[in-house]
């Protein structure tokens, strides 16, 4: 296998599509490269064009390029963009999927037999471990204990090392540190007895094989030479160590990230690897992307104000000024949560009536329980709703059934227009052109089938039903979900990587943003970055709100400390 590929497209065309700084990224093909990319600055565009430019010029053999990210959806997006740019053959995977492939490949040779099964979730085994120790832990406590196990493993700690580090960490369900360590040990014992591994073990076992088996290290490093890592601010110590092992002393690494969007420190992520990349690679090329193409200048101003003076913070510049500057985001004060939910629902219903598509609107909040009142209020105004906490699109029963029937129909249908074929199958499942009058599950089912029909409508001319089914299967594998005609309800964490024309951020009071259990400067800074992520999801309109009292409570809240830094000059009061 050679290191040089045959050029497959016009390199100059790829560069012409970029701004000055994005082009600088694309042309920095060799050696360590660090791209500090602010929100909405086109980082995915820059790195996909960089890879495509490397392939087009022959600098990269696409089979030796690995693009790494943190979600299957993001990996699917990278693959789709690279394919559109003529860079077929490049691997785009999550850290876990890349490691799992290697583990499955090398396990029979290195260990022997079939590789162990990966646990879907830690909860059941943790519950059994807690039972053997007579620890009365409910579902929430088991979930928190699972998070502690994940934190220990991504920091490459033994239970004994964790026992020392845990002295300064809050324990779930008021367990003692000793009890938590015993729970970790019991969990590992049961897991080993059943010859099972969890997701962190996938990375640990792969790293262990490369560290101890020269044959494995040689083959892995022969397969991939050029690495690109997106969202590098979210890398954990374990992922950083595995990446270092994959590189094997080579320097063909490009990392992309934004320290201001580090919101998973509680899970072991560290922006230090991004911020200190220049110390790890003193001769690295460092490029800053600060031209924001997403938001109005008014929104960008608030985001900059929130992060001013913070370590690693970039200063965004709105690409569009003048008429696109937008109104200053408003801060609404409500008497209670019910009034806040009703006010937001009424505002959204009015926007939709004025022509704003519901899928271009989102309501963001800190914790999932806030969604219940919001969803009920929106449904009272007949506003279609989808939640990021819902089951994945392709896991929904009606979607799975539709794909199965479409696959069957593709065997016998070959000459009908695609849209007709798909609509006939969906009508057989009860779909009708007009939405149902009711809400809830009936409306959600209709929205799912309408989204499938929308994909058929958007398919390129000449797409057959068989082609369409294969595309659905590809999307299913990569979690590439279609857009549904509904307002999105999402936590701030789940909104990362997404954007909408209109964004409402609700519940901006002390105890929610920042959350009550965020203690200490580091935890508060993480809450600040989470709020920043929320602000920068908005393209045109940003609405901020908080309520004085919670549901059924007489205690008064205080507005979030962060609102003092971004508050509009004359907030209105809703009673």
Q: Is the pLDDT of residue 552 over 80?
A: no
Which residue is listed with tokens 């909405």?
A: 40
pLDDT at 325: 67
For residues 366-377, give the mean pLDDT. 87
For residues 379-383, give the mean pLDDT. 89
Phi, psi of 483 (to 5 degrees): -80, 130
Tokens representing 3?
């290191």
Phi, psi of 66 (to 5 degrees): -120, 120
For residues 174-191, give the mean pLDDT. 93
Helix (H, G, I), strand (E, B) or coil at 273: helix
pLDDT at 575: 44
For residues 75-79, give the mean pLDDT. 88
pLDDT at 242: 97
Q: Is the pLDDT of residue 203 over 80?
A: yes
More confident residue, 517 or 418: 418
pLDDT at 479: 67
pLDDT at 322: 44
pLDDT at 537: 96
Which residue is listed with tokens 């789709």?
A: 80
Tell me the DSSP string of 459-510: SPTT--HHHHHHHHHHHHHHT-PPPPSSEEEEETTTTTT--EEEEEE---BT
For the chain, what's the residue count? 575
For residues 83-90, give the mean pLDDT. 90
> How many of the other CB atoms lie within 10 Å of CB of 105?
15
Q: Identify the DSSP state of 230.
A: S
Which residue is listed with tokens 């969990």?
A: 187
Phi, psi of 480 (to 5 degrees): -90, 90
Which residue is listed with tokens 């090392």?
A: 161
Tokens representing 394?
């392709």
Helix (H, G, I), strand (E, B) or coil at 329: coil
Give the residue from 205, 299, 222 showing the smallest Cα distance to 63: 222
pLDDT at 389: 61
Please write the tens of the pLDDT for every residue from 113-157: 888 999 988 989 999 999 999 998 888 788 889 989 999 999 999
What is the torsional sign of CA 219, 221, 226, 227?
Answer: positive
What is the torsional sign of CA 136, 142, 146, 147?
Answer: negative
Give the residue from 414, 487, 421 showing the smallest Cα distance to 452: 421
What percentage of the chain exceeds 90 in pLDDT? 58
- Helix (H) or strand (E) holding 340, with range, is helix 337-353
For residues 320-331, give the mean pLDDT. 69
Measured CA to CA, the distance from residue 57 to residue 334 in angstroms comes to: 58
Cβ-contact 325, 298 below 8 angstroms: yes
Q: Is the pLDDT of residue 208 over 80?
A: yes
Q: Is the pLDDT of residue 487 over 60?
A: yes
Q: Is the pLDDT of residue 169 over 50?
A: yes
Least confident of 205-219, 331-345, 351-365, 441-455: 441-455
Tell me the DSSP string of 168-183: GSPPGGG--HHHHHHH
Torsion of CA 400, 402, 403, 409, to 10 degrees: 150
What is the torsional sign of CA 223, 227, 232, 238?
Answer: positive
Least confident of 186-200, 418-432, 524-538: 418-432
Q: How many CA atoms lie within 13 A of 2 on its CB side?
A: 6
- What does pTM read for this prediction? 0.83
Give the residue from 42, 78, 77, 492 showing the smallest Cα distance to 261: 492
Please write the tens of the pLDDT for every residue from 248-277: 999 999 999 999 999 998 888 899 999 999
Q: Is the pLDDT of residue 101 over 70?
A: yes
End-to-end alpha carbon distance in the chain: 70
């Amino acid at each position: 296998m050679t290191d040089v590929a045959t050029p497959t497209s016009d390199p100059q065309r790829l560069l012409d599509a970029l701004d000055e700084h994005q082009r600088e990224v694309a042309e920095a093909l060799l050696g360590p490269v660090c791209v500090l990319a602010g929100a909405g600055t086109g980082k995915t565009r820059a790195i996909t064009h960089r890879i495509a430019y490397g392939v087009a010029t022959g600098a990269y053999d696409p089979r030796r390029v690995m693009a790494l990210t943190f979600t299957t959806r993001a990996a699917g997006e990278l693959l789709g963009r690279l394919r559109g740019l003529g860079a077929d053959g490049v691997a785009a995977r999550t850290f876990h999927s890349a490691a799992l492939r290697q583990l499955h490949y090398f396990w029979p040779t290195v260990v022997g037999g079939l590789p162990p099964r990966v646990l879907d979730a830690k909860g059941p085994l943790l519950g059994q471990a807690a039972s053997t120790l007579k620890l009365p832990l409910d579902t929430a406590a088991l979930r928190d204990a699972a998070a502690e196990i994940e934190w220990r493993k991504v920091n490459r700690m033994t239970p004994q090392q964790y026992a020392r580090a845990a002295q300064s960490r809050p324990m779930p369900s008021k367990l003692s540190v000793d009890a938590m360590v015993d729970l970790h040990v019991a969990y590992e014992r049961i897991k080993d007895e059943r010859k099972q591994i969890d997701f962190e073990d996938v990375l640990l076992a792969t790293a262990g094989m490369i560290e101890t088996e020269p044959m494995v290290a040689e083959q892995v490093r022969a397969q991939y030479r050029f690495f690109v890592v997106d969202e590098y601010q979210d890398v954990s110590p374990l992922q950083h160590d595995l990446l270092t092992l994959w590189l094997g002393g080579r320097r063909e690494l490009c990392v992309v990230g934004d320290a201001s969007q580090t919101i998973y420190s509680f899970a072991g992520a560290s922006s230090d690897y991004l911020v200190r990349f220049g110390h790890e690679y003193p001769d690295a090329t460092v490029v800053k992307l600060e031209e924001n193409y997403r938001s109005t200048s008014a929104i960008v101003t608030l985001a900059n104000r929130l992060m001013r003076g913070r370590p690693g913070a970039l200063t965004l510049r709105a690409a569009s000024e003048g008429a696109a500057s937008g109104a200053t985001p408003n801060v609404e004060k409500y008497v209670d949560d019910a009034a806040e939910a009703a006010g937001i629902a009424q505002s959204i219903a009015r926007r939709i009536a004025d022509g704003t598509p519901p899928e271009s609107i989102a309501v963001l909040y800190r914790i999932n329980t806030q969604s219940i009142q919001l969803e009920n209020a929106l449904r009272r105004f007949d506003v279609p709703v989808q939640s990021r906490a819902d089951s994945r699109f392709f896991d929904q029963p009606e979607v799975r059934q539709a794909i199965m029937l479409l696959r069957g129909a593709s065997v016998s249908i070959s000459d009908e227009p695609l849209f007709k074929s798909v609509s006939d199958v969906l009508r057989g499942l009860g779909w009708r052109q007009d939405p149902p009058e009711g809400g809830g599950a009936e409306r959600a089912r209709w929205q799912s089938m309408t989204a499938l029909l929308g994909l058929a409508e958007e398919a390129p001319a000449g797409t057959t039903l068989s082609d369409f089914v294969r595309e659905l299967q590809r999307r299913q594998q990569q979690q590439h979900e279609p857009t549904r005609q509904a307002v999105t309800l999402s936590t701030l964490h789940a909104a990362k990587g997404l954007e909408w024309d209109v964004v409402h951020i609700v519940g901006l009071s002390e105890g929610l943003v920042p959350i009550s259990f965020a203690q200490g400067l580091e935890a508060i800074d993480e809450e600040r970055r989470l709020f920043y992520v929320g602000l920068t999801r908005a393209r045109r309109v940003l609405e901020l709100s908080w309520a004085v009292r919670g549901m059924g409570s007489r205690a008064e809240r205080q507005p979030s400390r962060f609102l003092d830094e971004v508050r509009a000059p004359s907030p209105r009061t809703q009673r």
